[in-house]
Amino acid sequence: MNRKQIISKEEKIGIIIRTIANNPGLTRDELLAKLQENKLAISLRSLSESIKELKCDYKLLPNNSKLKNGYYLDNIISIPKTDLSILTNALNSFAQHLRDEASIETYKRIVEYAKNHISNEAIHTMIRETNIIESNDIIVKHSKVIDKAISSKMSILVTYKSPRGQETKSTLFPMFKIFYIRAWYVICKLKDLNLFHPYRLDRFININLGNILNKKYKSDYKLATELLSHGWGMSFPDSKMKACEGREYVVIFDKSIAPYIVEGKLRHQNAKLRYLPNGNLEFSIKLSDPWEFCHWIRSFGSLAWFIKPKEIVDIEIKDLKNKVARYN
């Protein structure tokens, strides 16, 4: 017969802290049930007294009269054992597949620290991508400078090389990093200009941490994410004014592939989808820069075609004629 253990006050407090750390969000009654389930001899009154101590003496719980969302350790971030596998799976995806150096270091540190609590089961989530830009020591170094600049909201001094080989020197305010298709990009605001651009991480020749604090980082970050939502891929308007000047592009998808397009209805938050009587699908979207969107449409061959605006229809017809000429 299992008996509930009788322990000292200090040991009891320690068990309560560990239980909350491994099960954040438990209410008082849930916490009591969990402790009793683990054979701790404790009453509701005794638990209430311990909770009061954790609030007032140990300062480990928020000192509120009632915690409706359950108990969370104050100013201490804890990860339940049940969430460790999810966290390490996610970090593994960023670390091994997307070549993110910060994730690699964090992944190794967490695995080493919590190796006794992480199962040895196979990774359950992964990314299949074979065309990712390979990392190197220079990219790792540049990424760390960008991470530091973002966390401190400071500027960076960069030399950037375009795909055509043109080098430019700029002072930028980095907002955030984003992985797209095959490489990491950093979305930046140009100093003294309210303009935002994507920069591919592997195209930086040199990056140094600047000494200018971005006092408008919060509003700049919000605007950058808004502008990104008005574009397609890394082709997005560089300002709010450009976002308002976008044009509507309308495409027809053949009924044979329409279901696959409908499946990705959240592909773009500004897109409008409408089935036509013949089963084809009409896809309309407002963009200021259609370059990447056009390439996406072309990837469907004859199963997708533009009907608006007329200028893009004319461009597509001319391009198709040129392509036919190539085959001849």
CATH of the domain at 206: 2.30.30
How many percent of the chain have pLDDT more than 70? 87
- Asked whether the beta carbons of 160 and 199 are under 8 A apart, the reply is yes
Q: Is residue 15 part of a domain?
A: yes
Number of domains in the chain: 4
Q: Is the pLDDT of residue 123 over 60?
A: no
Parent domain of 37: 7-78
Q: Is residue 2 part of a domain?
A: no
Residues 95 and 57 in one domain: no
Q: Is the pLDDT of residue 252 over 90?
A: yes
Residues 249 and 310 in one domain: yes
Q: Is the pLDDT of residue 243 over 80?
A: yes
pLDDT band at residue 158 under the 50/70/90 scheme: very high
Residues 69 and 84 in one domain: no
Q: What is the DSSP letter of 58?
A: S
Residues 189 and 260 in one domain: no
What confidence score (pLDDT) does residue 128 get? 58
Burial class (CB in 10 A: 0-12, 13-18, 19+), 249: buried
Calculate mean pLDDT across residues 280-289: 93
Cα of first residue to Cα of last residue in the chain, in angstroms, is 88
Q: Is the pLDDT of residue 1 over 50?
A: no
Q: Is residue 40 part of a domain?
A: yes
Residues 262 and 285 in one domain: yes
Q: Is residue 34 part of a domain?
A: yes
- Asked whether the beta carbons of 214 and 196 are under 8 A apart, the reply is no
- pLDDT tens digits for range 89-113: 777 777 666 667 777 777 777 777 6
pLDDT band at residue 41 under the 50/70/90 scheme: confident
